[in-house]
């Protein structure tokens, strides 16, 4: 009877330890994903700001037509989106 209780305690403690480790690994994964999402958002926002500034500079310098300046802005934003994808995946 005593031996069966010891075996039960060992089995229960091993089960609890494995559940605890699983919970910690899930929490760590969630934290990593959260950090990746934040870095992706930061990259995307930086690209948007860069695109806005680039278009204003393009228009101020009167180097290109409005359509070409707009296309440059689109390209810059698309590069930012790609950076975001590279970070997240």
Q: Where are the domains of the chain?
A: 2-88
- What pLDDT score was predicted for residue 7? 67
- What pLDDT score was predicted for residue 78? 92
- In order along its 89 residues, the chain shows pLDDT tens digits of 455 666 667 767 777 666 666 666 666 667 888 888 888 889 889 999 999 998 888 888 877 788 888 898 999 999 999 988 888 77
Rg, C-alpha atoms of the chain: 27
Note the Cα 59 to chain centre separation in Å: 33
- What pLDDT score was predicted for residue 75? 92
User: Can you tell me the distance from the alpha carbon of 28 to that of 33, in angstroms, rounded to the nearest whole number?
Assistant: 9
- What pLDDT score was predicted for residue 17? 67
With tokens 């409005």, the residue in question is: 66
């Amino acid at each position: 009877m005593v031996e069966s209780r010891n075996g039960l305690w060992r089995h229960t403690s091993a089960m609890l330890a494995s559940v605890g480790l699983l919970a910690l690994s899930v929490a760590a994964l969630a934290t990593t994903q959260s950090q990746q999402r934040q870095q992706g958002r930061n990259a995307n926002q930086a690209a948007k700001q860069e695109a806005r500034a680039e278009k204003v500079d393009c228009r101020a310098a009167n180097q290109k037509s409005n359509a070409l300046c707009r296309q440059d802005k689109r390209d810059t934003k698309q590069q930012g989106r790609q950076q975001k994808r590279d970070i997240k995946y």
